[in-house]
Amino acid sequence: MTSRLIIALDFPSAELALNFVKQLSPSTCKLKVGFELFVAAGPDLVRKLVEQGFDVFLDLKFHDIPNTVAAACKSAAKLGVWMLNVHASGGDKMMLAAREALAGFQLPPKLIAVTVLTSMDQAQLEKINISQAPEQQVSDLAALTKACGLDGVVCSAQEAQQLKAQCGSEFLLVTPGIRPVGSKQDDQSRIVTPLAARQMGIDYVVVGRPITQANDPLAVITAINFDLV
């Protein structure tokens, strides 16, 4: 079993990211490249990480017309990424097109969806004419994601148990907002520990600053992996 830990490489440049990655091993973590790093460093950086043997989660949350999202997924798959994501609110045609686009690859990346951004509360949803509770919206979009044949969703720890019960054990849950005991909360509002995350059935945890800003990142990685087994 490879590591269930995905480190969020939230760095502003390729140089800073690669310098940090030097100390890491693909056998003890996977890496997430999001907007900040991708916009700054582009696909070359992703290729370098893949060449070094890392499983890379390209977290670009595609949300566009089906044809465009399908083409973007193909481009991502050609980079050799391990996982990528789309917004479930792009609809079933978009998600089906994304899945189809990846079907031809020998080792297709895992394709997951974002349901409702955790920054969206009830008041924010109402402003875009979604009147049902956020939990219901998450549940409905997760059901749509599963019906489209995607591999799982990004979700908060609070949603995890309900989604596992609803979507089944094979449906992957990928969860940020994870904080090892004793680390800073930063700007995350509802946090859980790696151990609690695993007990909730979460498949992969995304951890950024508690590792990237630690004095001894490898010690934090070892401790988290111990809790995730």
Q: Which of 48, 61, 110, 127 is catalytic?
A: 61
3-state secondary structure of 33: strand
Any catalytic annotation for residue 127? no
User: Do 141 and 130 meet the contact criterion of CB atoms below 8 Å apart?
Assistant: no
- Of residues 144-183, which lie at the interface with ligand C5P (CB under 6 A)? 154, 176-177
- Of residues 95-124, which lie at the interface with ligand C5P (CB under 6 A)? 118
CB of 75 to ligand C5P, least distance (A): 21
CA distance 125 to 107: 37
Q: Interface mask (CB under 6 A) for ligand C5P, residues 186-205, using x and -?
A: x-x-----------------
b/e code 60-87 from CB counts within 10 Å (16+ = b): bbbbeebeebbebbeebbebbbbbbbbb
Residue whose CB is less far from ligand C5P, 75 or 188: 188
Tokens of 12: 């502003």
Residue whose CB is less far from ligand C5P, 48 or 209: 209
Cα angle 125, 190, 115; round to 5: 40
Binding residues vs ligand C5P (CB under 6 A): 8, 10, 34, 118, 154, 176-177, 186, 188, 206-209
The residues assigned a catalytic role are: 61
